[in-house]
Amino acid sequence: MYTYIDGEIFTINISLPGMLFNSLDSYLLEKSTSVIQETISDVEILYLEKVDAEQLMLKNNIFCYIYAKLFEQVLSAREQRTLMLQYKDASKRFNHFINLIPEAKLYLQEVPQKLIARYLGLAPETFCRAKNQYLKEQ
């Protein structure tokens, strides 16, 4: 998921197979946003219309609980990313990513490195140096 800011691509989220993805603003405000969601592999999309999800939450406690837990995961991931982006040092940023994002190693295996670099807000060369430094220290 990405958007353009001042003509440059800003990657907001990367989802692995089986993970959720959404545009929370689009969902809550029920209108289009400037966020672009693009797949880099074949996907199967399962979705609920907002009205259907809200009806399920009203009528089904189990669905409501699952929905709340999924929402918590989305918010936690966004909070971790916000914290990660506060690091000015590329190595610290990469270390935060690798140590605090549970799926980080899977991201490194499954996602093109240039997309991860963009997600971390690093130039591809800087990302490579930070990753190599991390691997040397392991």
Over the stretch 66-101, which tens digit does the pLDDT of each residue have?
Answer: 989 988 988 888 898 899 999 999 999 999 999 988
Distance from chain centroid for Cα 52: 25
pTM across the whole model: 0.81
Classify residue 110 by its DSSP letter.
Answer: H
Mean pLDDT of 28-38: 88
Task: Provide the residue ranges of all domains of the chain, joining segments of one domain with +.
Answer: 2-137
Q: Is pLDDT of 18 > 80?
A: no
